Structure 1
Amino acid sequence: MRARDVMSGHPVTVTADEVDTAAIAGLMDDAGTRHLPILDGDRLAGAWIADPDAGVARIGADRVAEVAPDADAEEPVRMLLEGAEVVVVRGDAGPLGVITRTDVMSMVRAAMAQGAGRRHPRPTVVRVAGVAGAGKSRLIRRTAAALSGYETVVVQANPSGSAAAGDVREVRDTSAHWRAGLARVVRELADAELVLLEDRDEDIDLARGIGEDVQVAVTRLDAAGSLTPERLGDAQAVVLTRADEAGADAVRDAVEAVAARCPGLAVMAVGSSDDEAFAAWVRWVGRQVLRRRG
């Protein structure tokens, strides 16, 4: 077993000049982690850790060890036993993962229960649903481009959906519209961190999931009145598109009306430009990935 087999992949890192402890604590909370390696250029300069007594604390590079991804898994375990707080698994392109005492205990528990090591994390699957003309394809393309820091794959289950833009990887598979098909596609995307699934052009019905992590309803702002709690029973968010074609008051009223009818959902209105409204949507998607990282 190698270090890459037991690490928690896709580590969240911060730069050496980040000293705002409140921001660090918030990032840890979003990512569901207790360790944030600190990078000073290419150099590993230490780590932020969550201390149960002192909140977040910065530790020096002397308490952070490094190993190659193909190192024997015994090496990071030994480093942790000898006093390292966290072991960073580092490849040619930078940090690939981290190993902590929690990871080692997970590996031990898995070995005891199943005779196997720790599984790699599953990608976060965001299913985007809406009728033809709602703006699903465009929203997905823009979102994938804005989240270029993630290993993103666009899965196109809509036969008439537009191709992904730029360098974004795309898989076209209409069977991903169903639970078994989506499960198969996701199993084949073990290297992905985020899957943006464009569902078929159909009336929104997100009362039941098909195995995704997040369900998002997309509709034009002028059709927001068609959204009901019954249609959004298993959804987490609503995106109202073409918001730049309406006045500020109309946008506010539409968002408030959907939020009132469907409490608990994140409701966002976006236009055609990459403004603060679109940035808020991108941040929301990013948080979904951070919260589900292994």
Structure 2
Amino acid sequence: MPSEHYEQQYLDLMRHIWTHGDERVDRTGVGTKAIFGATMRFDLADDAIPLLTTKRVFWKTAAREMLWFLTGDTNIRSLVEQKVHIWTDWPLDKYRRETGEKIDRDAFEQRIIEDDAFAKQWGDLGPVYGKQWVDWPRYTPAGEGLYRLEEKGINQIKLLVDGLKNNPGSRRHIFTGWNVAELDQMALPPCHKTYQFYVSGGRLSAILYQRSCDLGLGFAFNVFSAALLVRMIAQQCDLEPGQLVWNGGDVHIYLNHSELVEEQLSREPVGSPKFKILRKPESVFDYMITDFDVLDYAPQPHIPAPVAV
């Protein structure tokens, strides 16, 4: 009897939340159906990658975002130059509220690209993901109870890779973006907040804990990005990919995503896409989008749905 398709657990969770979820008022005002606590497991062996097949996932957009995180950049400029729009809504919303200008997304992004001063003022998201991952603030004693902020922060990703290479059996292979002191400075506090890694039998596995998950839109990117990160780090540590364990806290579907849910649940998952890394760079920070390729991915059509900001 053939094993169940890896995507079925996702569809089962979507159906359960839509049918039995608790209807809640949320930060965006849109409203959600939600449950608290969910787990899915994805095998990454043999080049497997958890791309959804019941709708098209634009995996290069997710990959570009992950590479952007690893640079520590927090400005949307380099993303929009690559035609990645997934972070634009937050600074655009802030700009509209603070200036009253009824600018559309395309015009806003064009100004971000063309105007250095405008990009610096309006394109920055605050100390989001990448800043915390590779430049977590470091303070050193400066005498008489005072502390000095060091120019160079803590690179959690470098420490993680070094730890996996030198002490693979450690239970401390963890990094997080949840810097409590800086949450109020972020355009959006980290949803995929904490990652833990585990080495066994020459394979690297990881758990991602996601405090908040938009199952209809965000999850497809989150799970691909996490798998991509595992694959990159495994290669750097001369390990084979193992499993990705996804843990969700508040897992929800927005009430205005009914068409997405009904359409996606009417489809059957098919196919097993493969993910290839085409070269091994010197470090985990040196990958480029051209280093990645996805094979045998024949998804069903994209399902559009609004993003709640």
Which interval holds the TM-score relative to the shorter structure? Answer: under 0.3
Find the structure with the greater CA-based Rg: 1
Higher share of residues assigned strand: 1
**Greater RCO, CA 8 A, separation 6+:** 2
TM-score, normalised with respect to structure 1: 0.25
TM-score, normalised with respect to structure 2: 0.24
